[in-house]
Structure 1
Protein backbone atom coordinates (compact mmCIF):
# COMPACT_ATOMS: atom_id res chain seq x y z
CA UNK A 1 0.00 0.00 0.00
CA UNK A 2 1.08 3.54 -0.25
CA UNK A 3 4.59 3.95 -1.63
CA UNK A 4 5.66 0.38 -1.23
CA UNK A 5 6.07 -0.26 -4.95
CA UNK A 6 9.01 0.95 -7.06
CA UNK A 7 8.73 4.32 -8.75
CA UNK A 8 8.09 4.61 -12.46
CA UNK A 9 11.32 4.13 -14.37
CA UNK A 10 12.39 7.25 -16.21
CA UNK A 11 14.32 7.69 -19.47
CA UNK A 12 18.09 7.54 -19.16
CA UNK A 13 18.37 10.92 -20.90
CA UNK A 14 17.29 12.75 -17.72
CA UNK A 15 20.19 14.92 -16.58
CA UNK A 16 21.46 14.33 -13.07
CA UNK A 17 22.92 17.16 -10.99
CA UNK A 18 25.75 15.34 -9.24
CA UNK A 19 27.01 18.28 -7.24
CA UNK A 20 26.03 19.25 -3.71
CA UNK A 21 23.92 22.44 -3.71
CA UNK A 22 24.95 25.71 -2.15
CA UNK A 23 22.75 25.78 0.95
CA UNK A 24 21.29 29.01 2.29
CA UNK A 25 21.56 27.63 5.84
CA UNK A 26 23.27 24.73 7.55
CA UNK A 27 20.88 21.77 7.24
CA UNK A 28 19.30 20.75 10.52
CA UNK A 29 16.98 18.05 9.23
CA UNK A 30 16.92 15.51 6.40
CA UNK A 31 13.46 14.30 5.35
CA UNK A 32 13.46 11.26 3.11
CA UNK A 33 10.82 9.11 1.50
CA UNK A 34 11.41 5.35 1.69
CA UNK A 35 10.19 3.26 -1.25
CA UNK A 36 11.84 4.21 -4.50
CA UNK A 37 14.03 6.67 -2.60
CA UNK A 38 15.94 5.48 0.47
CA UNK A 39 15.16 1.80 0.03
CA UNK A 40 16.41 -0.30 -2.83
CA UNK A 41 13.80 -2.09 -4.91
CA UNK A 42 14.26 -5.24 -2.80
CA UNK A 43 13.17 -3.12 0.22
CA UNK A 44 16.58 -3.23 1.90
CA UNK A 45 18.68 -0.40 3.31
CA UNK A 46 22.25 -0.64 2.05
CA UNK A 47 25.25 -0.49 4.36
CA UNK A 48 26.29 2.73 2.66
CA UNK A 49 22.91 4.31 3.40
CA UNK A 50 22.99 3.18 7.02
CA UNK A 51 26.43 4.77 7.39
CA UNK A 52 25.31 8.01 5.75
CA UNK A 53 22.26 8.34 8.02
CA UNK A 54 24.40 7.73 11.10
CA UNK A 55 26.97 10.28 9.92
CA UNK A 56 24.25 12.90 9.43
CA UNK A 57 22.95 12.45 12.96
CA UNK A 58 26.47 12.53 14.38
CA UNK A 59 26.81 15.88 12.61
CA UNK A 60 23.74 17.13 14.47
CA UNK A 61 21.28 16.70 11.59
CA UNK A 62 17.99 15.01 12.47
CA UNK A 63 16.68 12.40 10.05
CA UNK A 64 12.94 11.92 9.47
CA UNK A 65 11.53 9.07 7.43
CA UNK A 66 8.45 10.50 5.69
CA UNK A 67 6.47 7.78 3.94
CA UNK A 68 3.14 6.57 2.71
CA UNK A 69 3.69 3.34 4.62
CA UNK A 70 1.63 2.57 7.71
CA UNK A 71 3.45 2.24 11.03
CA UNK A 72 3.29 -1.57 10.92
CA UNK A 73 5.50 -1.57 7.81
CA UNK A 74 8.35 0.39 9.37
CA UNK A 75 10.44 -2.53 10.61
CA UNK A 76 12.67 -2.22 7.56
CA UNK A 77 14.07 1.07 8.89
CA UNK A 78 13.26 0.93 12.61
CA UNK A 79 16.88 0.23 13.58
CA UNK A 80 18.24 3.09 11.48
CA UNK A 81 16.52 5.99 13.22
CA UNK A 82 18.73 7.34 15.93
CA UNK A 83 18.13 10.13 18.44
CA UNK A 84 14.45 11.07 18.41
CA UNK A 85 13.19 7.93 16.63
CA UNK A 86 10.22 9.61 14.97
CA UNK A 87 8.78 8.91 11.53
CA UNK A 88 5.91 10.42 9.56
CA UNK A 89 3.69 7.70 8.13
CA UNK A 90 0.59 7.33 5.94
CA UNK A 91 1.44 10.46 3.92
CA UNK A 92 1.36 12.68 6.97
CA UNK A 93 -1.66 11.18 8.72
CA UNK A 94 0.43 9.79 11.59
CA UNK A 95 3.62 10.54 13.50
CA UNK A 96 5.12 7.35 14.89
CA UNK A 97 7.65 6.70 17.64
CA UNK A 98 9.80 3.92 16.22
CA UNK A 99 11.69 3.55 19.50
CA UNK A 100 8.50 2.75 21.37
CA UNK A 101 6.98 -0.12 19.43
CA UNK A 102 5.57 2.05 16.67
CA UNK A 103 3.33 4.00 19.02
CA UNK A 104 1.22 6.66 17.29
CA UNK A 105 1.89 10.00 18.93
CA UNK A 106 -0.03 12.24 16.52
CA UNK A 107 -2.89 11.41 14.14
CA UNK A 108 -4.58 13.54 11.46
CA UNK A 109 -7.48 11.36 10.35
CA UNK A 110 -9.82 11.25 7.40
CA UNK A 111 -13.24 11.59 8.99
CA UNK A 112 -15.69 8.80 8.24
CA UNK A 113 -18.29 11.09 6.66
CA UNK A 114 -15.74 12.48 4.20
CA UNK A 115 -14.42 9.02 3.37
CA UNK A 116 -17.96 7.85 2.60
CA UNK A 117 -18.54 10.91 0.42
CA UNK A 118 -15.32 10.21 -1.50
CA UNK A 119 -16.45 6.61 -2.09
CA UNK A 120 -19.80 7.75 -3.45
CA UNK A 121 -18.21 10.39 -5.68
CA UNK A 122 -15.53 8.10 -7.12
CA UNK A 123 -18.00 5.32 -7.81
CA UNK A 124 -19.91 7.74 -10.00
CA UNK A 125 -16.83 9.25 -11.66
CA UNK A 126 -14.91 6.00 -12.18
CA UNK A 127 -17.13 2.89 -12.28
CA UNK A 128 -15.16 -0.21 -11.37
CA UNK A 129 -13.19 1.41 -8.55
CA UNK A 130 -12.53 -0.71 -5.44
CA UNK A 131 -11.52 0.47 -1.99
CA UNK A 132 -9.48 -0.31 1.11
CA UNK A 133 -9.61 1.46 4.45
CA UNK A 134 -6.38 1.98 6.41
CA UNK A 135 -7.12 2.61 10.09
CA UNK A 136 -4.80 3.02 13.04
CA UNK A 137 -5.58 -0.62 13.87
CA UNK A 138 -4.84 -2.04 10.42
CA UNK A 139 -6.21 -2.35 6.91
CA UNK A 140 -9.55 -3.68 5.66
CA UNK A 141 -10.65 -4.00 2.05
CA UNK A 142 -13.33 -4.92 -0.42
CA UNK A 143 -13.40 -8.35 -2.10
CA UNK A 144 -12.56 -6.75 -5.48
CA UNK A 145 -9.58 -4.83 -4.13
CA UNK A 146 -6.32 -6.29 -5.54
CA UNK A 147 -4.43 -8.44 -3.01
CA UNK A 148 -1.21 -6.41 -3.11
CA UNK A 149 -0.29 -7.63 0.35
CA UNK A 150 -2.41 -10.05 2.33
CA UNK A 151 -3.05 -9.00 5.91
CA UNK A 152 -4.34 -11.90 8.03
CA UNK A 153 -6.09 -9.45 10.33
CA UNK A 154 -7.99 -7.68 7.56
CA UNK A 155 -11.75 -7.64 7.40
CA UNK A 156 -12.94 -8.21 3.82
CA UNK A 157 -16.32 -6.59 3.16
CA UNK A 158 -17.98 -3.92 0.98
CA UNK A 159 -16.58 -0.50 1.76
CA UNK A 160 -20.01 0.70 2.91
CA UNK A 161 -19.77 -1.82 5.74
CA UNK A 162 -16.15 -0.91 6.46
CA UNK A 163 -17.18 2.74 6.87
CA UNK A 164 -20.55 2.19 8.51
CA UNK A 165 -21.35 4.27 11.59
CA UNK A 166 -21.38 2.16 14.73
CA UNK A 167 -19.12 -0.55 13.29
CA UNK A 168 -16.57 -2.34 15.48
CA UNK A 169 -13.76 -0.44 13.81
CA UNK A 170 -15.23 3.05 14.02
CA UNK A 171 -13.29 3.79 17.21
CA UNK A 172 -10.04 3.46 15.23
CA UNK A 173 -9.34 6.63 13.19
CA UNK A 174 -9.04 6.35 9.41
CA UNK A 175 -5.52 7.21 8.28
CA UNK A 176 -6.32 6.95 4.59
CA UNK A 177 -8.71 5.53 2.07
CA UNK A 178 -7.22 3.66 -0.88
CA UNK A 179 -8.91 3.51 -4.27
CA UNK A 180 -7.83 1.17 -7.06
CA UNK A 181 -8.87 1.05 -10.69
CA UNK A 182 -7.78 -1.79 -12.96
CA UNK A 183 -8.27 0.04 -16.27
CA UNK A 184 -7.44 3.72 -15.87
CA UNK A 185 -3.93 5.11 -16.23
CA UNK A 186 -2.50 6.18 -12.84
CA UNK A 187 -2.12 9.91 -13.55
CA UNK A 188 -5.46 10.01 -15.35
CA UNK A 189 -7.18 8.45 -12.34
CA UNK A 190 -5.49 10.91 -9.98
CA UNK A 191 -6.53 13.93 -12.04
CA UNK A 192 -10.08 12.63 -12.34
CA UNK A 193 -10.38 12.00 -8.60
CA UNK A 194 -9.03 15.42 -7.67
CA UNK A 195 -11.47 17.12 -10.02
CA UNK A 196 -14.44 15.13 -8.74
CA UNK A 197 -13.68 14.98 -5.01
CA UNK A 198 -10.77 17.30 -4.29
CA UNK A 199 -13.05 19.43 -2.12
CA UNK A 200 -13.62 16.48 0.19
CA UNK A 201 -10.12 15.12 0.79
CA UNK A 202 -6.47 15.16 -0.32
CA UNK A 203 -5.54 12.80 -3.16
CA UNK A 204 -2.13 11.54 -4.16
CA UNK A 205 -0.40 8.41 -5.41
CA UNK A 206 2.90 6.60 -5.00
CA UNK A 207 2.35 3.34 -6.87
CA UNK A 208 2.99 2.71 -10.59
CA UNK A 209 -0.53 1.27 -10.70
CA UNK A 210 -3.79 3.24 -10.56
CA UNK A 211 -3.86 3.20 -6.76
CA UNK A 212 -4.86 6.45 -5.10
CA UNK A 213 -4.19 7.39 -1.48
CA UNK A 214 -6.84 9.60 0.09
CA UNK A 215 -6.15 11.59 3.27
CA UNK A 216 -7.98 14.23 5.25
CA UNK A 217 -8.27 17.56 3.48
CA UNK A 218 -4.98 19.44 3.85
CA UNK A 219 -3.07 16.43 5.18
CA UNK A 220 0.18 15.68 3.39
CA UNK A 221 3.77 14.78 4.09
CA UNK A 222 4.54 18.49 3.94
CA UNK A 223 1.88 19.61 6.41
CA UNK A 224 2.98 17.18 9.10
CA UNK A 225 6.68 17.70 8.45
CA UNK A 226 6.17 21.47 8.73
CA UNK A 227 4.43 20.99 12.07
CA UNK A 228 7.22 18.74 13.39
CA UNK A 229 9.87 21.21 12.24
CA UNK A 230 8.06 24.18 13.81
CA UNK A 231 8.02 22.34 17.14
CA UNK A 232 11.82 22.12 16.87
CA UNK A 233 12.38 25.64 15.66
CA UNK A 234 13.56 24.35 12.28
CA UNK A 235 12.81 26.49 9.22
CA UNK A 236 12.13 25.15 5.69
CA UNK A 237 15.51 26.57 4.60
CA UNK A 238 17.18 24.20 7.07
CA UNK A 239 15.54 21.09 5.61
CA UNK A 240 16.85 18.83 2.83
CA UNK A 241 14.21 16.50 1.36
CA UNK A 242 14.37 13.48 -0.96
CA UNK A 243 11.54 11.87 -2.95
CA UNK A 244 10.46 10.14 -6.11
CA UNK A 245 6.66 10.11 -6.51
CA UNK A 246 3.68 12.50 -6.56
CA UNK A 247 3.01 11.98 -2.83
CA UNK A 248 6.40 13.66 -2.21
CA UNK A 249 5.67 16.82 -4.20
CA UNK A 250 4.34 19.01 -1.39
CA UNK A 251 7.23 18.03 0.87
CA UNK A 252 9.81 18.69 -1.83
CA UNK A 253 8.24 22.06 -2.57
CA UNK A 254 8.21 23.02 1.12
CA UNK A 255 11.82 22.07 1.90
CA UNK A 256 14.55 24.62 1.28
CA UNK A 257 16.60 22.04 -0.64
CA UNK A 258 14.95 19.22 -2.58
CA UNK A 259 16.34 16.23 -4.43
CA UNK A 260 14.60 14.01 -6.98
CA UNK A 261 15.89 10.51 -7.44
CA UNK A 262 17.07 9.71 -10.97
CA UNK A 263 14.24 7.15 -11.11
CA UNK A 264 11.58 9.69 -10.07
CA UNK A 265 8.18 10.39 -11.61
CA UNK A 266 8.28 13.16 -14.25
CA UNK A 267 6.34 15.55 -12.00
CA UNK A 268 8.98 15.18 -9.28
CA UNK A 269 11.83 15.69 -11.72
CA UNK A 270 10.14 18.87 -12.93
CA UNK A 271 9.52 20.22 -9.43
CA UNK A 272 12.98 19.81 -7.90
CA UNK A 273 16.23 21.68 -8.42
CA UNK A 274 18.64 18.89 -7.60
CA UNK A 275 19.07 15.29 -8.71
CA UNK A 276 20.82 12.35 -7.20
CA UNK A 277 21.42 8.80 -8.35
CA UNK A 278 18.56 6.31 -8.37
CA UNK A 279 17.49 4.40 -5.30
CA UNK A 280 19.27 1.19 -6.33
CA UNK A 281 22.51 3.18 -6.52
CA UNK A 282 22.14 4.66 -3.00
CA UNK A 283 21.29 8.13 -4.28
CA UNK A 284 20.23 9.46 -0.86
CA UNK A 285 23.47 8.27 0.75
CA UNK A 286 25.55 9.82 -2.02
CA UNK A 287 23.82 13.17 -1.63
CA UNK A 288 24.22 13.11 2.16
CA UNK A 289 27.91 12.32 1.80
CA UNK A 290 28.32 15.32 -0.50
CA UNK A 291 26.37 17.58 1.82
CA UNK A 292 28.48 16.57 4.80
CA UNK A 293 31.66 16.88 2.79
CA UNK A 294 30.65 20.34 1.55
Structure 2
Protein backbone atom coordinates (compact mmCIF):
# COMPACT_ATOMS: atom_id res chain seq x y z
CA UNK A 1 0.00 0.00 0.00
CA UNK A 2 1.41 3.37 -1.05
CA UNK A 3 1.12 6.75 0.63
CA UNK A 4 -0.60 9.91 -0.58
CA UNK A 5 2.71 11.32 -1.80
CA UNK A 6 3.72 8.42 -4.04
CA UNK A 7 0.54 6.55 -5.02
CA UNK A 8 -0.10 6.79 -8.78
CA UNK A 9 -2.74 9.23 -9.97
CA UNK A 10 -4.73 9.04 -13.21
CA UNK A 11 -3.11 10.61 -16.26
CA UNK A 12 -6.19 12.83 -16.32
CA UNK A 13 -8.44 13.33 -13.30
CA UNK A 14 -11.95 14.37 -14.31
CA UNK A 15 -13.90 13.56 -11.16
CA UNK A 16 -13.22 13.34 -7.44
CA UNK A 17 -15.60 11.19 -5.38
CA UNK A 18 -15.38 11.56 -1.63
CA UNK A 19 -17.14 10.17 1.39
CA UNK A 20 -17.98 12.69 4.12
CA UNK A 21 -17.94 11.40 7.71
CA UNK A 22 -14.51 10.20 8.73
CA UNK A 23 -13.14 11.27 5.34
CA UNK A 24 -13.77 14.82 4.13
CA UNK A 25 -15.25 16.05 7.40
CA UNK A 26 -13.15 16.36 10.52
CA UNK A 27 -14.24 14.51 13.63
CA UNK A 28 -16.09 17.63 14.80
CA UNK A 29 -18.16 17.45 11.56
CA UNK A 30 -16.64 20.59 10.04
CA UNK A 31 -14.75 21.30 6.83
CA UNK A 32 -11.32 22.81 7.35
CA UNK A 33 -10.25 25.94 5.49
CA UNK A 34 -7.65 23.86 3.68
CA UNK A 35 -10.27 21.39 2.48
CA UNK A 36 -12.63 24.16 1.37
CA UNK A 37 -9.78 25.71 -0.63
CA UNK A 38 -8.92 22.35 -2.20
CA UNK A 39 -12.52 21.77 -3.27
CA UNK A 40 -12.68 25.25 -4.78
CA UNK A 41 -9.40 24.62 -6.57
CA UNK A 42 -10.74 21.41 -8.09
CA UNK A 43 -13.84 23.19 -9.36
CA UNK A 44 -11.75 26.00 -10.84
CA UNK A 45 -9.65 23.39 -12.63
CA UNK A 46 -12.74 21.81 -14.17
CA UNK A 47 -12.67 18.67 -12.02
CA UNK A 48 -16.12 17.58 -10.89
CA UNK A 49 -16.48 16.76 -7.19
CA UNK A 50 -19.14 14.33 -6.03
CA UNK A 51 -19.98 13.81 -2.37
CA UNK A 52 -20.82 10.12 -1.98
CA UNK A 53 -22.17 9.38 1.47
CA UNK A 54 -24.31 7.19 3.66
CA UNK A 55 -26.02 10.35 4.90
CA UNK A 56 -29.56 11.21 3.80
CA UNK A 57 -29.94 14.31 1.64
CA UNK A 58 -31.45 16.27 4.53
CA UNK A 59 -28.16 15.99 6.46
CA UNK A 60 -26.09 17.54 3.66
CA UNK A 61 -26.25 21.16 4.78
CA UNK A 62 -22.65 21.02 5.98
CA UNK A 63 -21.38 20.59 2.40
CA UNK A 64 -24.19 21.93 0.22
CA UNK A 65 -22.31 25.19 -0.38
CA UNK A 66 -19.41 23.22 -1.87
CA UNK A 67 -21.30 20.88 -4.18
CA UNK A 68 -20.27 22.71 -7.38
CA UNK A 69 -22.39 23.78 -10.31
CA UNK A 70 -23.87 20.35 -10.96
CA UNK A 71 -25.50 20.35 -7.51
CA UNK A 72 -25.58 16.56 -7.28
CA UNK A 73 -24.68 14.32 -4.36
CA UNK A 74 -25.01 10.56 -3.97
CA UNK A 75 -26.71 9.82 -0.66
CA UNK A 76 -27.88 6.85 1.43
CA UNK A 77 -25.01 4.65 0.19
CA UNK A 78 -26.10 5.02 -3.42
CA UNK A 79 -29.85 4.64 -2.91
CA UNK A 80 -30.51 8.27 -3.87
CA UNK A 81 -29.10 11.00 -6.07
CA UNK A 82 -29.94 14.42 -4.69
CA UNK A 83 -29.87 17.86 -6.27
CA UNK A 84 -28.72 19.92 -3.31
CA UNK A 85 -29.28 23.20 -5.15
CA UNK A 86 -32.97 22.42 -5.62
CA UNK A 87 -33.39 20.37 -2.44
CA UNK A 88 -34.90 17.31 -4.09
CA UNK A 89 -34.13 13.70 -4.94
CA UNK A 90 -33.69 13.24 -8.68
CA UNK A 91 -33.35 9.45 -8.63
CA UNK A 92 -33.88 6.67 -6.10
CA UNK A 93 -32.95 2.99 -6.04
CA UNK A 94 -35.33 1.67 -3.38
CA UNK A 95 -35.40 -1.40 -1.21
CA UNK A 96 -38.57 -3.37 -1.92
CA UNK A 97 -40.79 -3.36 1.17
CA UNK A 98 -41.57 -7.06 0.96
CA UNK A 99 -37.85 -7.82 0.80
CA UNK A 100 -37.23 -5.44 3.72
CA UNK A 101 -39.84 -7.25 5.83
CA UNK A 102 -38.24 -10.58 4.95
CA UNK A 103 -34.80 -9.30 5.99
CA UNK A 104 -36.17 -7.86 9.23
CA UNK A 105 -37.72 -11.22 10.12
CA UNK A 106 -34.51 -13.08 9.29
CA UNK A 107 -32.35 -10.76 11.41
CA UNK A 108 -34.77 -10.89 14.36
CA UNK A 109 -34.28 -14.65 14.41
CA UNK A 110 -30.51 -14.61 13.78
CA UNK A 111 -29.65 -11.74 16.15
CA UNK A 112 -32.05 -11.50 19.11
CA UNK A 113 -32.04 -7.98 20.51
CA UNK A 114 -31.71 -6.28 17.13
CA UNK A 115 -33.70 -3.08 16.57
CA UNK A 116 -34.53 -1.30 13.33
CA UNK A 117 -34.99 2.06 11.68
CA UNK A 118 -36.50 2.71 8.25
CA UNK A 119 -35.08 5.49 6.07
CA UNK A 120 -37.74 6.62 3.61
CA UNK A 121 -37.30 9.13 0.81
CA UNK A 122 -39.16 11.57 3.09
CA UNK A 123 -37.37 10.89 6.38
CA UNK A 124 -36.47 8.31 8.99
CA UNK A 125 -38.64 6.37 11.46
CA UNK A 126 -37.55 3.84 14.06
CA UNK A 127 -38.47 1.30 16.66
CA UNK A 128 -38.81 2.12 20.39
CA UNK A 129 -35.58 0.21 21.20
CA UNK A 130 -33.58 1.88 18.44
CA UNK A 131 -31.18 4.71 19.43
CA UNK A 132 -33.20 7.90 18.82
CA UNK A 133 -32.35 10.32 16.02
CA UNK A 134 -32.14 13.72 17.67
CA UNK A 135 -31.64 15.34 14.25
CA UNK A 136 -35.07 14.02 13.21
CA UNK A 137 -37.50 14.97 15.99
CA UNK A 138 -40.55 14.32 13.78
CA UNK A 139 -39.85 10.62 13.30
CA UNK A 140 -42.57 8.03 13.85
CA UNK A 141 -41.71 5.47 16.54
CA UNK A 142 -43.18 2.03 15.86
CA UNK A 143 -42.10 -1.54 15.12
CA UNK A 144 -40.45 -2.04 11.74
CA UNK A 145 -43.27 -4.26 10.49
CA UNK A 146 -45.68 -1.35 10.96
CA UNK A 147 -43.25 1.19 9.49
CA UNK A 148 -42.86 -0.96 6.37
CA UNK A 149 -46.55 -1.76 5.94
CA UNK A 150 -48.34 -0.43 2.86
CA UNK A 151 -52.00 -0.83 1.87
CA UNK A 152 -51.20 -1.70 -1.73
CA UNK A 153 -47.82 -2.98 -2.96
CA UNK A 154 -45.89 -0.11 -4.50
CA UNK A 155 -48.08 2.60 -2.98
CA UNK A 156 -45.79 3.59 -0.12
CA UNK A 157 -42.98 6.11 -0.03
CA UNK A 158 -39.75 4.56 -1.39
CA UNK A 159 -37.56 2.87 1.23
CA UNK A 160 -33.96 3.99 0.77
CA UNK A 161 -32.53 1.70 3.43
CA UNK A 162 -33.25 -0.15 6.64
CA UNK A 163 -30.87 0.24 9.55
CA UNK A 164 -30.28 -2.55 12.05
CA UNK A 165 -28.68 -1.88 15.45
CA UNK A 166 -27.41 -4.35 18.01
CA UNK A 167 -26.33 -3.23 21.47
CA UNK A 168 -24.06 -6.22 22.21
CA UNK A 169 -22.51 -7.63 19.02
CA UNK A 170 -19.17 -6.48 17.62
CA UNK A 171 -19.75 -4.35 14.47
CA UNK A 172 -17.86 -6.53 11.99
CA UNK A 173 -19.28 -9.74 13.45
CA UNK A 174 -22.79 -8.33 13.08
CA UNK A 175 -22.08 -7.47 9.44
CA UNK A 176 -20.80 -10.98 8.71
CA UNK A 177 -23.82 -12.56 10.40
CA UNK A 178 -26.26 -10.37 8.47
CA UNK A 179 -24.63 -11.11 5.12
CA UNK A 180 -24.65 -14.83 5.86
CA UNK A 181 -28.29 -14.64 6.93
CA UNK A 182 -29.81 -12.51 4.17
CA UNK A 183 -27.06 -11.37 1.81
CA UNK A 184 -28.87 -13.02 -1.09
CA UNK A 185 -31.82 -10.66 -0.63
CA UNK A 186 -30.27 -7.25 0.04
CA UNK A 187 -26.99 -5.33 0.26
CA UNK A 188 -25.47 -5.00 3.74
CA UNK A 189 -22.74 -2.59 4.83
CA UNK A 190 -21.71 -0.41 7.74
CA UNK A 191 -20.19 3.02 8.31
CA UNK A 192 -20.66 3.54 12.04
CA UNK A 193 -18.18 2.60 14.79
CA UNK A 194 -21.09 0.86 16.51
CA UNK A 195 -22.94 -2.32 15.50
CA UNK A 196 -25.19 -0.43 13.07
CA UNK A 197 -25.84 -2.00 9.69
CA UNK A 198 -27.21 -0.27 6.59
CA UNK A 199 -29.40 -2.41 4.34
CA UNK A 200 -30.15 -1.43 0.74
CA UNK A 201 -31.64 -3.06 -2.32
CA UNK A 202 -29.65 -5.78 -4.10
CA UNK A 203 -26.76 -4.30 -6.05
CA UNK A 204 -27.18 -0.83 -4.56
CA UNK A 205 -23.88 0.71 -3.49
CA UNK A 206 -21.95 3.94 -3.67
CA UNK A 207 -19.93 2.46 -6.54
CA UNK A 208 -22.93 1.42 -8.64
CA UNK A 209 -24.59 4.84 -8.49
CA UNK A 210 -21.30 6.69 -8.95
CA UNK A 211 -20.55 4.56 -12.03
CA UNK A 212 -23.95 5.45 -13.48
CA UNK A 213 -23.42 9.18 -12.82
CA UNK A 214 -19.98 9.00 -14.43
CA UNK A 215 -21.34 7.13 -17.46
CA UNK A 216 -23.89 9.91 -17.98
CA UNK A 217 -21.00 12.37 -18.12
CA UNK A 218 -18.74 10.25 -20.30
CA UNK A 219 -16.25 9.82 -17.46
CA UNK A 220 -14.39 6.51 -17.22
CA UNK A 221 -13.46 4.79 -13.96
CA UNK A 222 -9.76 5.40 -14.65
CA UNK A 223 -10.45 9.16 -14.63
CA UNK A 224 -11.89 9.07 -11.10
CA UNK A 225 -10.09 9.53 -7.76
CA UNK A 226 -12.08 8.31 -4.74
CA UNK A 227 -11.72 8.69 -0.97
CA UNK A 228 -13.27 6.72 1.89
CA UNK A 229 -12.77 5.19 5.31
CA UNK A 230 -15.34 2.48 6.06
CA UNK A 231 -16.80 -0.76 4.65
CA UNK A 232 -19.53 1.17 2.81
CA UNK A 233 -16.74 2.76 0.73
CA UNK A 234 -15.08 -0.52 -0.32
CA UNK A 235 -16.84 -0.96 -3.66
CA UNK A 236 -16.22 2.67 -4.62
CA UNK A 237 -12.55 2.50 -3.67
CA UNK A 238 -12.17 -0.68 -5.71
CA UNK A 239 -13.98 0.77 -8.75
CA UNK A 240 -12.16 4.10 -9.09
CA UNK A 241 -8.99 4.37 -11.17
CA UNK A 242 -7.15 5.72 -8.11
CA UNK A 243 -8.41 5.61 -4.56
CA UNK A 244 -7.25 6.57 -1.10
CA UNK A 245 -8.22 5.20 2.27
CA UNK A 246 -7.88 7.65 5.11
CA UNK A 247 -5.19 7.21 7.74
CA UNK A 248 -8.03 6.47 10.16
CA UNK A 249 -9.73 3.96 7.84
CA UNK A 250 -11.19 0.53 8.55
CA UNK A 251 -8.89 -2.31 7.35
CA UNK A 252 -11.39 -3.26 4.64
CA UNK A 253 -11.17 0.24 3.13
CA UNK A 254 -7.37 0.17 3.28
CA UNK A 255 -7.32 -3.19 1.49
CA UNK A 256 -9.63 -1.91 -1.27
CA UNK A 257 -7.79 1.36 -1.95
CA UNK A 258 -4.75 1.91 -4.14
CA UNK A 259 -3.20 4.28 -1.61
CA UNK A 260 -3.48 5.70 1.89
CA UNK A 261 -3.58 9.38 2.76
CA UNK A 262 -3.54 11.23 6.08
CA UNK A 263 -6.45 11.10 8.51
CA UNK A 264 -9.60 13.17 8.14
CA UNK A 265 -8.42 15.48 10.95
CA UNK A 266 -5.15 15.98 9.04
CA UNK A 267 -6.94 17.02 5.80
CA UNK A 268 -6.03 13.81 4.01
CA UNK A 269 -8.39 14.48 1.10
CA UNK A 270 -7.05 18.01 0.59
CA UNK A 271 -3.48 16.68 0.52
CA UNK A 272 -4.27 14.51 -2.49
CA UNK A 273 -6.37 17.15 -4.28
CA UNK A 274 -3.48 19.60 -3.94
CA UNK A 275 -1.21 17.02 -5.50
CA UNK A 276 -3.66 16.51 -8.39
CA UNK A 277 -3.86 20.25 -9.00
CA UNK A 278 -0.07 20.59 -8.89
CA UNK A 279 0.26 18.16 -11.80
CA UNK A 280 -2.12 20.03 -14.10
The question of a shared fold, defined as TM-score above 0.5 by the shorter chain, is answered with yes
The TM-score bracket by the shorter chain reads over 0.9
- 2:110 — aligned with what? 125
Question: How much has 1:16 moved relative to structure 2?
Answer: 6.7
Q: Does the CA-based 8 Å contact 1:221-1:251 persist in structure 2?
A: yes
Question: How much has 1:170 moved relative to structure 2?
Answer: 5.5
- 2:45 — aligned with what? 59
Pairing partner for 2:252 from 245, 267, 270:
267
Pairing partner for 1:178 from 163, 169, 176:
163
Give the SS at the match of 1:291. Answer: helix
Question: How much has 1:153 moved relative to structure 2?
Answer: 1.2
C-alpha distance in 1, partners of 2:82/2:94? 14
Give the SS at the match of 2:188. Answer: strand
C-alpha distance in 2, partners of 1:282/1:24? 21
TM-score scaled to structure 1, two decimals?
Answer: 0.92
Pair 1:40-2:22 in alignment: no
Pair 1:80-2:66 in alignment: yes
Deviations 1:3-62 (A, max 9, x none): xxxxxxxxxxxx871315333430100000000000001110111111100101111100
Pair 1:91-2:71 in alignment: no
Pair 1:201-2:201 in alignment: no
- 2:272 — aligned with what? 287
Q: Does the CA-based 8 Å contact 1:163-1:170 persist in structure 2?
A: no
Question: How much has 1:172 moved relative to structure 2?
Answer: 1.2
C-alpha distance in 2, partners of 1:241/1:18? 12
C-alpha distance in 1, partners of 2:267/2:139? 34
C-alpha distance in 1, partners of 2:110/2:132? 23
- 2:224 — aligned with what? 239
Q: What are the ranges of 5 or more consecutive residues in structure 2 without an aligned counterpart?
A: none
- 2:15 — aligned with what? 29
Question: How much has 1:110 moved relative to structure 2?
Answer: 0.3
Q: Which ranges of 4 or more aligned residues in structure 1 deviate by more than 6 Å?
A: none
CA root-mean-square deviation: 1.4
Q: Does the CA-based 8 Å contact 1:32-1:64 persist in structure 2?
A: yes
Equivalenced residues, count: 278
TM-score scaled to structure 2, two decimals?
Answer: 0.96
